[in-house]
């Protein structure tokens, strides 16, 4: 008597989305299925019943069977070989009563259920968190067993958000794998990322693995991951996070929003004056041309005139100022600055508008070990060269960028980093914010004894 065998063949139906056939020797007659893969590798494989075994099917492998037994809603298959020998076919019913068959191994089953126990500790020590859920979110996260109050209303960006004083602090856009792939192909994800980039903190969470992007059907392999990489590079301040399951995506969303709100509150509690304990307060200096000139700044030239300005080669600090501080500002949708390390300097207009400091003539404060070299890098970056002057790039999206004026102060003994930190602290004391194009406070000033 011939031993039963398990057969894998290529599906001769070129129009089928399931390119393989398998034949299982079950009691009552062979079961023939069309499958997506010849063996489950990293995820469970979808199968569909086939109408008989086609003539002339190209057999890829035929393996003796040690056991093929149906147990309830599953068929256990054990093959007579040393590797890839144990698997299971699971029969289920999906919406509408349609039969769905999945082929899995112990490895793929564990991957589908990561076995992660959700911790119950509060995120970022938030005692009570109010999460706003967009009314267009059809099947929202419920955040059960969490100290969360859910409020439903329309959001301008994202599906889930936290607020402070009526302003959005952070938002998360939720996507399934099919949604993120479709939005990447259609270009819709770029618009969503642009809206999210205008918030203080934002992210996209995907309810699947990143590897699943490489297994999409009816698209060229690697095309969708390439689109994703381009979108992420353009909007690098909006991370796109892949979570294995919906439960993990919900957990990540909860902790991200809690952390963003906690960071926002902590920043609000920070003093705006960065003087070391025991030091006298910094003088309340002005930041218009007259005040800066009185403080020792010279030059006062446009960027285009820098090559002929004979800026010093010594260490120092410099400022970029508007010629007309009270004039209306106008932002450009694209930056004139050059890409650096494959990073796009353009940011969302909403972010520029949020950063704008009304009434301030000074837009940026910088430091340099060689003023002439650093200022020339800044100028060249603004005209599109791939030069490493990423700091201060926001000014290159101003319509008036060509009319902005640069001034500098040469330093004989003082560390430029300390001088920059002192200027930024004085500016923040006067205006309650950093200059428009300064995204960080620089190095904190040190006391003389440290």
| Contacts for 244 with CB less than 8 Å, ≥ 6 apart | 111, 114, 208, 209
pLDDT for the residue 123: 62
pLDDT digits (tens, 9 = 90+) for 68-127: 988 778 898 999 998 889 999 999 887 678 888 999 988 776 666 565 665 655 565 566
pLDDT for the residue 131: 94
pLDDT digits (tens, 9 = 90+) for 40-62: 987 889 999 999 999 889 999 99
pLDDT for the residue 192: 85
Domains and CATH numbers, the chain: 5-112 (no CATH), 123-269 (3.40.50.10130), 289-431 (no CATH)
Neighbours of 390 (CB within 10 A): 13
218: left (phi over 0), alpha (psi -120 to 50) or beta: left
pLDDT for the residue 304: 87
354: left (phi over 0), alpha (psi -120 to 50) or beta: alpha
Tokens of 92: 């289920």
pLDDT digits (tens, 9 = 90+) for 196-253: 887 888 999 999 999 999 988 877 888 899 999 998 988 888 999 999 899 999 999 9
pLDDT for the residue 119: 61
Is residue 418 within 8 Å of residue 446, measured between CB atoms? yes
Instruction: Annotate 414-429 with DSSP letters as a single string.
Output: S-HHHHHHHHHHHHHH
pLDDT for the residue 180: 92
pLDDT digits (tens, 9 = 90+) for 257-278: 998 888 776 555 443 333 334 4
């Amino acid at each position: 008597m011939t031993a039963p065998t398990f057969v894998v063949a290529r599906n001769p139906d070129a129009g089928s989305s399931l390119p393989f056939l398998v034949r299982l020797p079950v009691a009552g007659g062979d079961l023939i299925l069309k499958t997506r893969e010849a063996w489950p590798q990293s995820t469970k494989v979808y199968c569909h019943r086939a109408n008989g075994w086609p003539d002339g099917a190209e057999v890829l492998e035929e393996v003796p069977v040690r056991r093929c037994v149906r147990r309830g809603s599953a068929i256990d298959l054990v093959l007579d070989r040393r590797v890839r020998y144990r698997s299971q076919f699971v029969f289920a019913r999906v919406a509408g009563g349609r039969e769905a068959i999945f082929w899995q191994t112990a490895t793929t089953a564990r991957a589908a259920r990561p076995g992660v126990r959700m911790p119950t500790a509060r995120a970022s020590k938030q005692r009570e968190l109010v999460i706003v859920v967009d009314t267009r979110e059809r099947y929202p996260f419920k955040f059960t067993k969490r100290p969360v109050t859910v409020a439903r209303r329309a959001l301008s960006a994202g599906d889930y958000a936290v607020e402070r004083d009526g302003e959005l602090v952070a938002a998360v856009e939720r996507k399934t794998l099919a949604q993120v792939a479709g939005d990447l192909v259609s270009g819709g994800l770029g618009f969503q990322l642009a809206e999210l980039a205008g918030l203080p903190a934002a992210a996209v969470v995907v309810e699947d693995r990143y590897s699943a992007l490489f297994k999409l059907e009816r698209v060229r392999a690697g095309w969708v991951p390439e689109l994703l990489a381009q979108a992420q590079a353009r909007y690098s301040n909006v991370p796109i996070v892949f979570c294995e399951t919906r439960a993990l995506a919900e957990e990540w969303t909860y902790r991200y929003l809690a952390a963003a709100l906690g960071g926002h509150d902590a920043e609000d509690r920070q003093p705006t004056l960065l003087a070391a304990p025991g030091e006298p307060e910094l003088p309340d200096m002005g930041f218009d041309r007259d005040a800066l000139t009185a403080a020792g700044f010279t030059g006062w030239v446009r960027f285009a005139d820098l090559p002929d300005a004979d800026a010093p080669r010594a260490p120092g600090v410099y400022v970029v100022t508007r010629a007309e501080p009270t004039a209306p500002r106008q932002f450009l949708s694209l930056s004139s600055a050059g890409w650096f390390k494959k990073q796009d300097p353009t940011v969302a207009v909403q972010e520029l508008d949020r950063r704008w400091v009304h009434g301030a003539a000074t837009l940026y404060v910088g430091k340099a070990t060689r003023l002439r070299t650093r200022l020339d890098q800044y100028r060249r970056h603004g005209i599109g060269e791939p030069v490493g002057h990423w700091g201060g790039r926001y000014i290159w999206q101003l319509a008036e960028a060509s009319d902005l004026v640069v001034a500098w102060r040469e330093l004989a003994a003082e560390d430029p980093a300390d001088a920059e930190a002192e200027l930024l602290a004085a500016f923040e004391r006067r205006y309650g914010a950093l200059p428009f194009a300064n995204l960080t406070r620089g190095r904190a000033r040190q006391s003389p004894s440290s």
